[in-house]
Structure 1
Amino acid sequence: DEHAIFLIACLLLNETHYYQLGGPGPDGRDLTGKVSYLILEAAHRLGIANNLTVRVHDEMDEQFFLTAVGHLLRDRKGWPRFAGDKGLVEGFMRNGYPAELARQRVAVGCHWMAIPGREYTLNDVVKINVAKVFEVAFHDMVEDPTVRPSVCELWRRFQDHLRRAVLCTAKGLDFHLAHQADNEPELMLNLLCHGPIEKGVDVTDGGVEFYDMCVDGAGLATVADSFAGLAQRIEREHLLTWDEIVTHLRHNYGGPDGPRVRAMMKAGPRYGQGGSLGDEWAVRVSRLFARLVKERPTPGGRIMIPGWFSWSSTVAMGRIVGATPDGRGAGEPISHGANPNNGFRTDAAATAMAKAIASIQTGYGNTCPMQLELSGGFDDEEGIAKVAALIKTHFDLGGTLFNVNIIDREKLLAAHKDPWAYPDLIVRVTGFTAYFAALSPEFRQLVVDRIIAE
C-alpha cells in the first residue's frame, strides 16, 4: 500500500487533471475499490491543491463517502468535491441517451461532465451573460415610448432577447466547429480519443461519437433578484416608480437618494431565502433558459445542453453590465454560477442554499454547481455526518455538483492583505482548487467576497 500511495501521490503532483472516484459502472454497480481509498490517502499526505471528485449514488460505499467528507473537513484544502449521480444520469437521459451511457459521463473539469474519449462538449467554454440580456431587455422597454413599463412587459422582452442570444450562440457553435480543425486542431485530444486517429479526422470535426455542446447561463441571481426587486418595490409596495428606478440605474445609484434606494433594492426578496419572490423568479428564469436551449438543436443539427456556471467570468461579464435593480453597482461582478447573491440571508443558511440551487437545475445532465463556504468546527464525527447529510439531501433534490470551502475567516482576510505571508493557504475558487497567494487579485477578491458575505 505504501508504494502504491507514493506512486499515486507522484501522479497527483505531476498531473493536476480532474479525477472522479467511485460512482456506478454502466450496469449501476459501485466502482469503489481499494485504489479509491489509496487515492484519498495519497492526496491527504501530499497536502496540495488537487481536483478530486467523488460520485455520490444510491449504491455507493458509505464508508468511502464519509472518509471523503472527512478529508474535506479536516484537511481544509477544498477537496474533494461531490457529484450527484441521480441528477446527472436522469438529466443526460433526457437528451435521448440510455442510462448505461449516462453513467459513463464523469467529472473531467471545473463543472464538466463528459464520456471520456467518446464525447466532445466545449464545456466551460460557451457562456451567455444573462445579466447583460436582462439589461438590454430593460432598456429596450423603458426607452420605448409606445409601452407602459411593467414587470410583465419586461419579462416578455427578456424572453425575446434571451431567445436571440441562444440562437446567436447556436450559430456561433456551428461556425466554430466548422473551422476549428483548420484553425486550432485538438492535437493532444485526438491522441486520447476513440476515432480521430482511426478516421483521420479531428475531434472537433466528426472524429468522436457524441457531440453535446454545453451552453451555460451566467448571472442567475442577478437577474432573479432584479425581477423580484422591481415587482416588490414598484408594483406591490409602490415605493418607487419606473422613472425613478431608471434614473437611479443610469446614475449608478448616485445622487442624494441613491444609497437609500440601493440599500432598499438590496434588501428585497432574494433568491435563496426560501419561498421568496426571488426564489420564484430564479426557477422561472432557469426553466426559460433550459427550454430555449433545448427548443431545437443548432442549425447544423448539434445537441445543446444547458447549465448554470460562470467560472471566474463573473468579473469580466460584470464589467460590461450597468447597475441592476438588485442593488448591484455598474461594472461590479455578476452573481456566481447557480449560487444566490452574496448575503442572500442574514444567517447564510446552508440548507436554504442547497434547496434553492437544487430547484433551479436545468435538468439535462450538465451541472449547476453549489458553492458553499464553511468555517471550521465540523471535523468531528457529528460534523462529518451533518455535512454528508447536507450533500446527500442536495443530490436527492436534484443537485448535480457540490463544491465546499473550509476557511478560517480571519486567516483568509489576513492573507488577502498579505498573500505571501500564507503561501500554503489553499482555497476552492470555483470548480478548481488553488494556492490563494498564486491567484490574481481579482480571483482572490472573488473568494473573499463570498466569505465575507457568509
Structure 2
Amino acid sequence: MAKVFELAFNEIISTDNPTTEKLWKAFSHHLSIAVQTSADGIRHHLKYQKYNEPELLLNLLSYGPLEKGCDISDGGAMYYNLAIDGAGLAVVADSFAAIQQRIEDEKKIGWNEINYYLQHDYEGTEGERIRLLMKNSDRYGHGGSRGDMWAKKISDKFSQLVVKQRDKVNGHIFIPGLFSWANTVGFGKTVKATPNGRKSGLPISHGANPNPGFIADGASIAMASAIASIQPGYGNTAPMQWELDPGLAKEDNMDIIGSIIKVHFKQGGTLINVNIMDQKKVLEAHQDPSKYPDLVVRITGFTAYFSMLSKEFRQLVVDRILND
C-alpha cells in the first residue's frame, strides 16, 4: 500500500491544483490494479499447480476430489480460500491525514513544498522541521482522528477490491487481511520518503499496528481500539502486535490486561501477538546480541532468537518496545 500511495502521489502532484480528493481517487485506482495483479498471480499459480505439485493427502481429506475424480490442485475442491494481505496501512493513513491537515485545512505548507522535501528526503534543518510538522499530525491510533478515519477508509476500500476478485465458477474465495508480515524492512527499502514524516528507505508500518510513537500515553488501550476498528471482516486477520514489560505482566495487573484483551475482541479484533520482554534487556541485546543468545522474541506470527535477527530487524522490535 505504501508503494501504491507513492505512485498515486507522484501522479497527482504533476497535475493542476492537486487535492486530497484527487489523491484518493488515484490511490484507489492504483490499489485496484495492485489487487487485480495479486489475484491474477494466484490464479496463474492455481492453473499450473496440477503440473507442479499434485496433492495426495488433501484429496482424501477434502470433499470434492473423490466425488469429481479430480485432483484438488486441478479444481477438485469446492472452495479455495485465498488470502490477499495489505501492508503499510499506518504509513498511508498517516500520510493522507498529514496532507489533509497541514496542507488543506491549516495551510501550513503547500503541495509543491511537501513534494520538494519528499524528493530531498527532508534534508537540512528546515526539512527536519517540515518532517516533524507532518509526523505530528492527527495520526492513526489517536482515537477519532483524521488518521483513524483514513485507516478505516483504506481498509474498507482494500477489502472491497479483494472481495470483488471472488470467482464462484472455480470456487476461488479471495479474503482480505492486514496480516503482520515480517518483510516490513524489505518493503520499506523500495519506498521513498512519505508525507507522514517517514524518511526514504525506512521500514513501513507493521501489520495493522499504528506507527511507533503514535501516542504518548495509554498506547495499549488506544492501539486495541484502533486495530479493532479497521478489521477487514471476511475471516482473515488484522493482528494487534502488543509488547508488554514483565513489570506489567503480573497477577496484580491481571484485570487490566484482561480488560484490554476483552475490549479488543469485543470491538471486532481477530488476533493478538504478545511479547513479554524486559526493555533494558532487549536494548542491551540490541547493542550486543552475544550477551543474550537465548533471548526469544515474538516477531509477528512467529518467534525467533533475537541474536539471529539483522540489526535492522532488531530495531523494529526495539521501536515497538520503546513506544508501546
Q: Same fold (TM over 0.5)?
A: yes
1:377-406 CA-to-partner distances (Å, cap 9, x unmatched) read: 234333122212211110000000011111
Query: What letter matches 1:136 in structure 2?
Result: L
Query: Letter of the aligned partner of 1:358 in structure 2?
Result: A
- Letter aligned with residue 347 of structure 1: D
Aligned mates of 2:145, 2:92 — CA distance in 1: 14
Which of 302, 316, 324 is the matching residue for 2:172? 302
Amino acid aligned to 2:62: H
- Listed one character per residue, the Cα deviations across residues 209-243 of structure 1 (whole Å, up to 9, x for unaligned) are 42011010001000000000000110111110000
Output one character per residue of 1:98-148: Cα deviation in whole Å (capped at 9) or x when no partner: xxxxxxxxxxxxxxxxxxxxxxxxxxxxxxxx111111111111123xx31
Residues 59 and 71, structure 2, Cα contact 8 Å, conserved in 1: no
Deviations 1:336-390 (A, max 9, x none): 0000000000125211110000000000011000001111223433312221221
TM-superposed deviation, 1:271: 0.2
Deviant stretches of 4+, over 3 Å: 186-204, 298-301
Q: Is the aligned partner of 1:161 residue 2:30?
A: yes
Report the alpha carbon displacement of residue 296 of structure 1 after superposing the two structures with TM: 4.0
Match in the other structure for 1:312: 182
Q: After the TM superposition, which of the residue ranges 199-208 and 291-300 deviates more from structure 2?
A: 199-208
- The answer to whether 1:131 aligns with 2:17 is no
**TM-aligned CA distance change 1:231 to 1:280, over 3 Å:** same
CA change 1:424–1:178 in 2 (3 A) is same
Residue 281 (structure 1) shift: 0.8
Look up the equivalent residue of 2:14 and give its one-letter code.
Answer: E
- What is the CA–CA distance in structure 2 between the aligned matches of 1:181 and 1:443, rounded to whole Å? 37
1:340 aligned to which of 194, 199, 210 = 210
Aligned to 1:142: 13
Match for residue 49 of structure 2 among 180, 194, 198: 180
> Structure 2 vs 1, CA of residues 181 and 439 (structure 1 numbering), >3 Å: closer, same or farther?
farther
Go from structure 1 to structure 2 and tell me whether the alpha carbon gap of 1:139 and 1:192 turns closer, same or farther (over 3 Å shift).
farther
**TM-aligned CA deviation for residue 320 of structure 1:** 0.9
Determine whether 1:194 maps to 2:62: yes
CA distance in 1, matches of 2:321, 2:217: 13
How far apart, CA to CA, are the structure 2 residues paired with 1:256 and 1:387? 42
Aligned partner of 1:322 in structure 2 is 192
Distance 1:428 1:202, change over 3 A: farther
Match of 1:108?
none
3-state SS of 1:135 partner = helix
Aligned counterpart, 1:447? 317
Counterpart CA distance in 1 for 2:254 and 2:278 is: 17
The verdict on how the C-alpha distance between 1:300 and 1:389 changes in structure 2, with shifts beyond 3 A counting, is same
Mapped partners of 1:203, 1:441: distance in 2: 42
Is 1:234 the equivalent of 2:103? yes
Of the two structures, which has the highest relative contact order with CA contacts closer than 8 Å and spacing of 6 or more? 1
CA distance in 1, matches of 2:65, 2:156: 40
Q: How many residues align?
A: 322
Q: How far, CA to CA, are the matches of 1:193 and 1:179 in structure 2?
A: 22
- Counterpart for residue 387 of structure 1: 257
Residues 289 and 306, structure 1, Cα contact 8 Å, conserved in 2: yes
Following superposition, the deviation at residue 445 of structure 1 comes to: 2.3
Deviations along 1:173-199, one digit per CA (max 9) or x if unpaired, are: 11111112323x166864884369857
Aligned residue number for residue 221 of structure 2: 351
8 Å contact kept, 1:224–1:285: yes
Decide whether the 8 Å contact of 1:190 with 1:196 is kept in 2.
no
Spell out the pairing of 1:27-426 with structure 2 (5 A cutoff). Answer: 130-144=1-15, 147-183=16-52, 185=53, 190=58, 193-194=61-62, 198=66, 202-298=71-167, 302-426=172-296
| Gaps in structure 1 of 5+ consecutive residues | 1-129
Compared with structure 1, are the counterparts of its residues 323 and 202 closer, same or farther at alpha carbon in structure 2 (3 Å cutoff)? farther
Conservation of the 8 A alpha-carbon contact between 1:271 and 1:282: yes
Instruction: Report how far residue 420 of structure 1 moved.
Output: 2.4
Structure-2 separation of matches of 1:236 and 1:316:
34
**Aligned equivalents of 2:274 and 2:56: distance in 1?**
31
Identity of counterpart residues, as a percentage? Answer: 52
* CA-atom RMSD in angstroms: 2.1
Task: Give 3-state SS (helix, strand or coil) of 1:222's partner.
Answer: helix
Instruction: Give secondary structure in 2 for the equivalent of 1:218.
Output: coil
**Contact 2:275–2:297 (Cα < 8 Å) also in 1:** yes
Q: Aligned-pair distance for 1:414? A: 0.5
> SS of 2:192's equivalent?
coil
Give the letter aligned to residue 452 of structure 1.
Answer: L
Tell me, yes or no, if the aligned pair for 1:189 and 1:203 is still in contact at 8 Å: no
